[in-house]
Each structure stands twice: as structure tokens, then as C-alpha cells.
Structure 1
């Protein structure tokens, strides 16, 4: 159950108490009425000298710590006046967000922090991150060179609140040997209807699998990849600020997935990660992040295929963006903010986006980046790059509502592991999401 939202004054009192982090975690995420910084006010950085030392908080997404340290070393060689300390501030996006929230209530703030797709907006509402625009001007970042689909995710109220960094989309992974055994063409299914035809053929091909297809682990951002299913059917978790998760189209999308598990029996649900099940040969196909590409290839002893997410019954191919960017806290001195922006510009440079992509599978975020080394290493990277042309900004109910991703995951779990009625579950979800919007979002816009 979601706890009542706290107003700004009571939150600051509450967050200073011992055990605040645990209490906030029990609420499904930090309150959105935290710091007193003015995130909307632009700072004049003219005449400001960058600080000599900064701290970067990261959760090292996609096992990126080694490449991050290499980037830091190159930065310090070119900028000997700024030392960068990399701190592993959490094992995932949720843990780093909790630590950042705790620091808002009186701890030591970082100078640069990783902000995932479902966490940055609550910090905008808290006024605890600064707009990047004046810093972009101060350090001379060419925002026109970032891939538009990836940088515009961080724009709200006419300002940019983060820079893209470890950005990803879900893609369709499959076992080519299993495909061949079933007599299927060497490609991903073009539509979900086609996958429903292929599923039984894969099940009967003697591949020794648990399931032909493995739905992503529900606790692992099910609301992210399932946007493809909802959008393809003409539904969505929300339309701007309007909650639409219980629309007939959304219900039909979730009913299709439930039927694939319980009626037609060609799909299952991953316990931890669908890509792990694929690499182990337990399933023939799954959907996973592009950030998992290198791990999937290295851990599989078969030829891996990849393709766009399947289209639905209403729209053509459509895919959500995802992953993380980097932002700068409002509660630190301008000198630290300027030094952090100087490093962020280097971190997200064309050369370093290639280095990150090569080590992990995350998308190259700069248009001018030379991606030929990436494609020479594996042509599958081209799939993710090409799929950017059919990406769509995520539904606000999933990305902007605090704690909503967890609520969506619980609903999906009820439908897909408990065989609960999709219509009833999504109606309940709508009530929950509306409560989050009314209590935690609308008052802070």
C-alpha cells in the first residue's frame, strides 16, 4: 500500500530521523517533495572557476565500472585541474536513488549522479537537480549532436534536466539454432500475431526448452517492455497525464500475454532475467535491454539473433526508450556544478559513447560517433540503432509517477503468474496510479 505523500516541511523533518532510508524504501520510492533548491532558476556561471575535485555517483549500469574508470583517467589527463572520484552508490537504479534521496536530507551530495528513466522526474519535482541548459552553454556542449530520441526524454517545462549516457531500448533476442530446428526464417517475428503462430512450432521442435518465449521478469521493469505490447494494440499506461491502463486496448494487450502463458502455453515468465534463461538454452527467445547485448553474446554458446520488438494489431513497430542519464544536484556550489558539467561533457562525448557501447551494448548517444568498430565487432548492434527510428517516449504514468513502476509490475505479476482477470487488475491499477498523480505529482508540477 502506498503511504500518504508528505509535504515539504514534514518530509524534511521525517527524512532527518534515523531509519529514514528504510521508511522511504517501504513507500516504493522517495517522496517527491524533498529539497528546497530552486531547480527552475538558472545560475550565471560566467566568472565561475570549476572546482578541483568532484564525485560521481553511479550504479555502474551494464557492468560499466571498468570503462567508466578508463574514461575518468583519460579525462584527468586532459583536465589535470579536476579530479573525479567514482563512487558505486548502489547496485541498481533504485539503490542509487535512495542514497541520493537520503543525501538531500542532510548528507553529502555528489556532484554528478546517474538518474534512470523512472527517477529523474521526481528530482525535477523536488527541485533537487539543476537545469542543464546554462551549464551546457558554459562548457560548450553541442546538444544537436545527441540523438534526438535520447536527449529529448530529459526535456520538461522547456528545459533539459539531464544528459543521456547509458541509454537503451528493449530488443528481441532469439536462439538461431532453435529457429532453424522449427523451420522458421532467420529473423525476429514481425508481429505478435506471428510470434503466436511460431510459438507452438518452437515448442514442438524438440529443442528441450521450458518455453518458446520468455516474458521479461516482472520485477525487472515489466512496465517498460510491455509498453510495446500496449502501444501495438492501441493502448498505453497513460496518455500524457490521463491514466489509460484500463482501456479496452490495454486490457486486450495484457489478455494476449496471459493467453500466451496459460491458454496457448508457448510463453513463460522469467524468474530473474529472460536473457539469462535464453543464454542457458532454457528458452528460445526473450526480450531484453540492449545494455545486455555483450553479456548475452558472451554467455551464449549458440548463435544469437536479434530484431525489432514485434508490431501489434494496430500500429507498426514501436519501442520505448530507456536507460539512464546523468544530472547535477541543485544543492552544491556553482563551482562544483561547473566542474561536474565539464566532466559530463567528456563522459558523453562521441568517443566515450563508443567506448561504453563497446563494453556493454548501450546505445551510442551521439550522431557523430564513429560506430564502425561497434558494427565490425557485432552487426547486431545495428538492430538497436535502427530501432531508434521507431522509438516513442515512455508513458508518463510509468516514467514520471513515483513508485508507479512497482505498482505496474505487481499488476502484471497478478495477471501473468496468478491468472488474475486483466480487466479487474488494470481497473485497480488505474485507481492506484490516479492516487499517485493526485497526491504526489500534480501538487509538485
Structure 2
């Protein structure tokens, strides 16, 4: 059966409920490594007793340490024989990933459960550092069909589930309602960036803010949020494993972004945190994570509005990526620890707990059946993020599957947006870099 089942095709099939059958028939791409050589049924936990304790490594996404501990306390009241040690393993996704990577290399103490971001989990899959969860999901009767499809599918590859969604987010368009009112603008996010470009001079003239719009800090997640611009113009970082960041459409999108700063002079680039800049009134609008929502609402001294991400001249919808992190179980710990961690993983992602996590952080509930009534009554803006899930798009392979590519995208964005570098030349150089990463670090581990 001739069919190219890359991740995008697989997720599209999975959304139709035929992904498993199609991959089984076609023998879709698999990746080398100890974890990928066995099927979920090979991991047999029959007769295994859960370990008495394990470490849960987290970076507390969305300032979630208190709610994480609260959920752990509830878990241990129900399962007193399993102690969960909450470990701050880094200040962000990168730090926790580096710690996990270092522990693998040093063969030192590993966690039973670990937070894995969207740009890090795949390399652990290719290296065999995490186990497929399918067998445990079946054995423990985890209601996988009750997870938000677009969120759980982000951790599926080669017909296996490698993590469950945890602190999941989309970027949101944040706007200062007071500035919009003063400028005589409608109380909504712009439908397209072209529409916003018409609004920007009015905002600058009436708001007193330094910028009408500020781009997220490039050292953060430029590769994530700029997918919105690229997709709106018909471009992308990549199409499957074809890297087309230097395409006419991609270059045009980023040239427009550069012009908004240097030519039209209504935009800037955050030096540290765009959400903080927005809350401080430095800018009238920005794009930032759903996970920043509660912090913005708490610190802003003005009326905050949120909306879907704007489209572009080629696409006005499906221009929003998902993002954030999931929870995975390392392969380098004992079955006893894996089973204990899986017991907690099931509990952590139950509807009641995902609703509590969402209420405390602003992240999206990962379960369809989560009762969000009380949360939405208190923070109705969260519903915008939930509604936007229906028009999200799978992230480009180049960003989430190539080790270190996100940092390379940030460097390229910095050249374009803070140094006014030549867009075409910068994107051509980036394509060469991405091709090199794929050829050296990914392609040898993929099998057709």
C-alpha cells in the first residue's frame, strides 16, 4: 500500500478515527531506539506492584506549583501507598529537558513522570527514552477518547501514544479594550493582520502606548507564534519533511513583519516577556500563551480582551498552533516505578483535576467532560481559547521534530526583526540549517 504517512497525515487520519487501521496496514514510519522496537503489548505489567514512591519532574507551567501539590495531596489521600515527590526540575521547558537529557547520559536518578514540551518529546521518542503509554492506557482504563482530540494527537507517532496532554495552550491575541475604545475600534480581535495594520495608526495616535503591537520575545517561542504569520500568508517552516521556510510565501510573511517594525513603525519586539509588556501598558496588543491569561488579568490595570489569532491574505482561519507540554514516563526506570507513575498520571488527567489545573493557570482543559462552569463564570476569557481549539493546526515538523530547530528559528527571527537583516537570505540560511539537522539527527532514525 503506497502512502506517505508522515505525522501530519497520521494526525489527519487519527482525527477521522482511522489512523490506527491505516498505519497498521501501511506500516507507517517508525523510529529507531529501544522503545520503538517493541509494541505496547510487549510492556507487560501483570503481577507488578506499584513502587512506594517516585519523583514527578515539572517546571510548574503557568505557575502551577500550588495546584500540582494540591492534586498530589488528593492523590495520596486516595492512594496512600504511593508517595509522589514533587520536584522542581527547571524554571521552564528547556531547563527541565536539559536536566532530563543530562540524567539520561549520566545514567543518574530519573523521574517516574516528567513534563515534556512540544519541541522536546520527539527526541526522547527517537532515543528510546520514554515508553509508549498504550498498554498502560488500556490496562488502567484511561478514557483516551475523552481527551481533546487535537491535544492528545500531538503526542501520537507510529501508531503509539507517547505522552498525555498536560499544560496545553494556544497563543491568544490580547488587546487593551480601553485603547481600542479610545481609538474608535470594534471591541474584538482583528480578523486579519491586514485589518490590524489599518487599525494600528489609530491606536498609536490615541493610546499613548509605545507600540500598537509587540512581537513575543524571540528568545522564547518565536518559532511557535510566527507559524501564525507564515500560515496566514500561505507559508510555513516546513511541509512534512520538506523545509520551505525560504518560499516566496514565507519570505513575504516575514518581510511584512519586519516592515511593521522598521517601515510602518507601529510594532516592536519584546525584550523579555510580551505578556508583561502588555500588562504594563507598553503595547496595545500582543500574542501570548493561554497560560499567561490569568497573570495578565491579575496584573493589568485596564480591561483585557482576547480573541482568535488573526489570519493573513491567504488564510483567515486554521492559523493557530497548539503548544505546551505533556506528561511522559521514562523507559529507564523500573516497571514498579512506571506503574506508580501511570497510576498518578491517570489521576492527574482526570476531568475534575484538569478543570482545577485550568482554573489555577489558564491552560486549556484537556478533557472534554471537564466541568468548566465555575471556571468560566470566574474567567470567561478561557472560553475563547477553548473555542479556538476547533481551528487549530498541527505544528510544522521543522519546529517540533528537529532537535534545536526552535532555537535556530529564534535566531533567524532575531536577525529579521531586531537587526533588519535580509529576509530572503536569512530564510535561505535557516533552510540549510534545518536540512542539516534533519539529515544528521532525524533521517537516520526514520524508517519507511
Fold match, TM over 0.5?
Answer: yes
Cα distance in structure 2, aligned partners of 1:237 and 1:40: 30
Give 3-state SS (helix, strand or coil) of 1:358's partner: helix
Partner of 1:38: 35
Cα distance in structure 2, aligned partners of 1:436 and 1:69: 39
Cα distance in structure 2, aligned partners of 1:400 and 1:379: 34
Give 3-state SS (helix, strand or coil) of 1:185's partner: coil
Partner of 1:309: 309
How many Å apart are 1:38 and its aligned residue? 3.0
How many Å apart are 1:303 and its aligned residue? 0.6
Partner of 1:381: 382
Partner of 2:141: 140
Q: What does the per-residue CA deviation read over 1:33-86, in whole Å, with 9 as the maximum and x for residues that have no partner?
A: xx9743442301122221111110001111100000000000000111111001
How many Å apart are 1:244 and its aligned residue? 0.8
Give 3-state SS (helix, strand or coil) of 1:272's partner: coil
Q: What does the per-residue CA deviation read over 1:370-393, in whole Å, with 9 as the maximum and x for residues that have no partner?
A: 011111002111100000011011
Partner of 1:409: 410
Cα distance in structure 2, aligned partners of 1:245 and 1:341: 39
1:98 to 2:98 alignment: yes
Partner of 1:12: none
The 5 Å alignment of 1:196-275 reads 196-205=197-206, 207-275=207-275
Partner of 1:183: 184
Q: What does the per-residue CA deviation read over 1:143-195, in whole Å, with 9 as the maximum and x for residues that have no partner?
A: 00000000000000110100000000000001111001110000010111001
- TM-score, with structure 1 as normaliser: 0.91
Cα distance in structure 2, aligned partners of 1:36 and 1:212: 49
Partner of 1:71: 71
Cα distance in structure 2, aligned partners of 1:367 and 1:88: 29
Question: More displaced, 207-216 or 41-50?
Answer: 41-50
Q: Which runs of 5+ in 2 are unaligned?
A: 1-31
Number of residue pairs matched by the alignment: 410
Q: What does the per-residue CA deviation read over 1:271-318, in whole Å, with 9 as the maximum and x for residues that have no partner?
A: 011111110011100000000000000010111000000011111222
Contact conserved, 1:241 with 1:397, CA < 8 A, in 2? Answer: yes
Partner of 2:122: 121
Partner of 2:320: 319
Contact conserved, 1:40 with 1:130, CA < 8 A, in 2? Answer: no
Contact conserved, 1:39 with 1:330, CA < 8 A, in 2? Answer: no
Give 3-state SS (helix, strand or coil) of 1:283's partner: coil
Q: What does the per-residue CA deviation read over 1:101-121, in whole Å, with 9 as the maximum and x for residues that have no partner?
A: 111121101000000000000
Contact conserved, 1:37 with 1:331, CA < 8 A, in 2? Answer: no
Q: Which runs of 5+ in 1 are unaligned?
A: 1-34
Partner of 2:356: 355
Cα distance in structure 2, aligned partners of 1:53 and 1:424: 53
Give 3-state SS (helix, strand or coil) of 1:114's partner: strand
Contact conserved, 2:33 with 2:126, CA < 8 A, in 1? Answer: no
Contact conserved, 1:53 with 1:83, CA < 8 A, in 2? Answer: yes
Q: What does the per-residue CA deviation read over 1:117-156, in whole Å, with 9 as the maximum and x for residues that have no partner?
A: 0000000011110001011112110100000000000000
Contact conserved, 1:39 with 1:129, CA < 8 A, in 2? Answer: no
Cα distance in structure 1, aligned partners of 2:379 and 2:84: 32
- TM-score, with structure 2 as normaliser: 0.90
Q: CA RMSD in A?
A: 1.0
Contact conserved, 2:221 with 2:406, CA < 8 A, in 1? Answer: yes
Contact conserved, 2:172 with 2:289, CA < 8 A, in 1? Answer: yes
Contact conserved, 1:117 with 1:323, CA < 8 A, in 2? Answer: yes
Partner of 1:286: 286
Cα distance in structure 1, aligned partners of 2:102 and 2:123: 14
How many Å apart are 1:333 and its aligned residue? 1.0
Give 3-state SS (helix, strand or coil) of 1:288's partner: strand
Q: In the superposition, relative to structure 1, how do residues 36 and 431 fare at CA in structure 2: closer, same or farther (>3 Å)?
A: closer
Partner of 1:337: 338
Partner of 1:441: 442
Contact conserved, 1:233 with 1:250, CA < 8 A, in 2? Answer: yes
